[in-house]
Amino acid sequence: MDITATKPRFDWQKRRFLLIEGAIVLVFVLLLIFVIPQFLVSIGQAFRVNLLGRYLALAIVALGIDIIWGYTGILSLGHGLFFALGGYALAMYLQLQPNGQLPDFFSLYGVTELPAFWQPFSSLPFTIFAAVAIPTIVAAVLGYLVFRNRIRGVYFAILTQAALIVFFNLFNGQQKLINGTNGLKTDTATIFGQPAGSAAVQWSFYVLTVVLLAGAYALCRWLTSGRLGRLLIAIRDDEPRVRFTGYNPTAFKVLVFAASAGLAGVAGALYTVQSGIITPKVMDIAFSIEMVIWVAVGGRASLVGAILGTLVVNFAKSFLSEKFPEVWLFFQGALFLIVVMVLPGGLIGWLRTHGLDYSRTLLRGKQRVTTYPSLEEDPDVEYERQDLTNRKSDG
């Protein structure tokens, strides 16, 4: 095979697919901004716009989970920690608005002076930076220490839970520093002279969430395609092999873990301003496990799956808990069992393997015959097939 002849076609094809993908993402962004909210308002479900915004924020953390778990095969059950760090960063900024006064809750505990670590959060640029950088750095340090010692699999998952509990207790117990279990309210704060809970501000946060979700998708798409993406899959498939090939897996694992934590930070900040409060409850172990369930339901190692899974599970949760408040947890458990046992590839995995065939059957009423791939690829078989069709057309 002459590789020089195939190369340009390959690149051209790839570029075309990328353009199509970009166009699809753009269409979804426009739909989410200009069509769906107006539709929801027109049917009198305006509050669902806010829900949608929150779930789209959660989809960003799901993307993060997908690149670390779906692609690299490292199960983190502690992403609530990074989510909380991002959320608290922005909440602290809002508490200090409009002019860096002492937040009200401090007076309850007799604190008269702003703790030192609050000071930099009166600046918006610093806060935005911190909401991403703090979780990223925490994850990079934690990841480096753990991955360097080749701690993997279940042991890593347990360690992330331990880290989560440590931070939960820290935030929960420190009333004089961070208002402890009551958390920080953001909806009564003002931002750019407007109350953060007002419709206009909430709408801008909604639009920002949609745009950042598209950005997060692009980032993950870039990370998981090309050489790095293949390397991540290789690490998932056989890490020692990667090592003996001359790559240092620790570096790549730290990179992906940190990136996924950064995404969780962004998600936490966006979720917090749209829910109006952040409490240490987001560092509940169950919430971090839920995040993994969203990805599992949507489909591991599929970025669209992570977003889809988050939206499906969360909307199912909100509908079901409105109608039958007591069954939601059972339903969530059942959902996870079904996914693990019947749909190991999640919704997207099912679509990829069976969905195409089903839709083909529906459209044409004809099912594609599957054979062994080796048979499909075999040049001899190919020749015979060609020969048969020629004979048919001749006769």
Residues that bind another protein (CB under 8 A): 1, 3-4, 7, 223, 226-228, 230-231, 233-234, 236-238, 240-249, 251-252, 255, 373-374, 377-379
Angle CA 156–157–161, to nearest 5: 115
Nearest approach, Cβ of residue 163 and another protein (Å):
24
Nearest approach, Cβ of residue 11 and another protein (Å):
10
Nearest approach, Cβ of residue 228 and another protein (Å):
5
C-beta of 148 vs 334, nearer to another protein = 148
**Other Cβ atoms within 10 Å of 118 Cβ, number:** 19
C-beta of 115 vs 215, nearer to another protein = 215
Nearest approach, Cβ of residue 231 and another protein (Å):
5
Nearest approach, Cβ of residue 274 and another protein (Å):
32
Distance CA 27, CA 273 (A): 26
Write the CB contacts of 346 (distance below 8 Å, at least 6 apart in sequence): 295, 296, 297, 298, 299, 300, 302, 305, 309, 339
Task: Report residue 383: phi and psi, to 5°.
Answer: -65, -45
C-beta of 241 vs 337, nearer to another protein = 241
DSSP 194: E
C-beta of 104 vs 378, nearer to another protein = 378
Distance CA 281, CA 168 (A): 8
Nearest approach, Cβ of residue 80 and another protein (Å):
28
278's enclosing H/E stretch is strand 277-278
DSSP 315: H
DSSP lists the bridge partners of residue 278 as 184
Structure tokens at 299: 């489909």
C-beta of 377 vs 394, nearer to another protein = 377
Question: DSSP of 9-25, one letter per residue?
Answer: HHHHHHHHHHHHHHHHH
C-beta of 378 vs 384, nearer to another protein = 378
